[in-house]
Amino acid sequence: MSTKILIIGACGQIGTELTQKLRQAYGTENVIASDIRKLNTDVVTSGPFEVVNALDYNQIESLIEKHQIDEVYLMAALLSATAEKNPAFAWDLNMNSLFHVLNLAKAGKIKKIFWPSSIAVFGPTTPKEQTPQYTIMEPSTVYGISKQSGERWCEYYHNIYGVDVRSIRYPGLISWSSPPGGGTTDYAVDIYYKALEDKKYECFLSEETKMPMMYMDDAIKATIGIMQAPSENVKIRSSYNLAAMSFTPKVIAAEIKKHIPEFEITYAPDFRQKIADSWPASIDDSAARADWGWSHEFDLEKMTTDMLNHLSKK
Catalytic residues: 143
| C-alpha to C-alpha distances, 5 to 118, 122, 306, nearest whole angstrom | 23, 30, 29
| C-alpha to C-alpha distances, 100 to 18, 82, 137, 149, 153, nearest whole angstrom | 21, 23, 25, 15, 12
